[in-house]
Amino acid sequence: MEEILGVKGILAKSLDSYEYRPQQVEMAEAVARALQEGGGLIVEAGPGTGKTFAYLIPAIYSGHRVVVSTGTKNLQEQIFFKDIPMLREILPVKFTVAYMKGRENYLCRRRFEIFSRQPLFKILEEASFFKEVSTWASQTPPAI
């Protein structure tokens, strides 16, 4: 992890704004060990430690399938749309990712079909979006 997150590591050479954090390297090494040896790991780290890279980088290098569950959609989007693309450009290893959200973020086609037969809106303003959602639902393949 020192070769990647260290003072003279890959990130330091690639990012102008990179700031070396010894706690980040320590956390990344613990995550890497846990992924390699198995077992559990609980880490507590304060703001600004660099937690995201400290778990993403060992996960990428582990070769394992890893699930990263975030507490907020904002963090999920930051990881997928900002951090992952940045790491793809910088790291000399290829990896794939999937972006998944909880089921409350997807349209239930069965419930939508039932609703469509007799739409009852809680708020009248919702009716203006119904046609747009119906068009989208008819053109979008179901999630698997």
Q: Across the 144 residues of the chain, what is the mean pLDDT of every consecutive 10-residue run?
A: 96 94 96 94 90 96 92 91 96 93 79 88 86 86 70
pLDDT of residue 144: 62
Same domain as 73, residue 6: yes
Instruction: Examine residue 96 and state whether it is found in any structural domain, yes or no.
Output: no
Instruction: Examine residue 26 and state whether it is found in any structural domain, yes or no.
Output: yes
Cα separation, 129 vs 136, in Å, equals 11
Domain of 128 in residue numbering reads as 106-139
Instruction: Examine residue 72 and state whether it is found in any structural domain, yes or no.
Output: yes
Same domain as 84, residue 44: yes
CA distances 94 to 37, 100, 125, 135, Å, are: 22, 20, 47, 37
Domain count, the chain: 2
Same domain as 85, residue 117: no
User: What stretch of H or E contains 114?
Assistant: helix 109-117
pLDDT of residue 77: 93
Same domain as 71, residue 40: yes
pLDDT of residue 102: 75
Same domain as 86, residue 110: no
pLDDT of residue 55: 96
Cα separation, 93 vs 8, in Å, equals 18
pLDDT of residue 126: 86
pLDDT of residue 143: 66
Give Cα 11 distance to the centre of its chain: 20
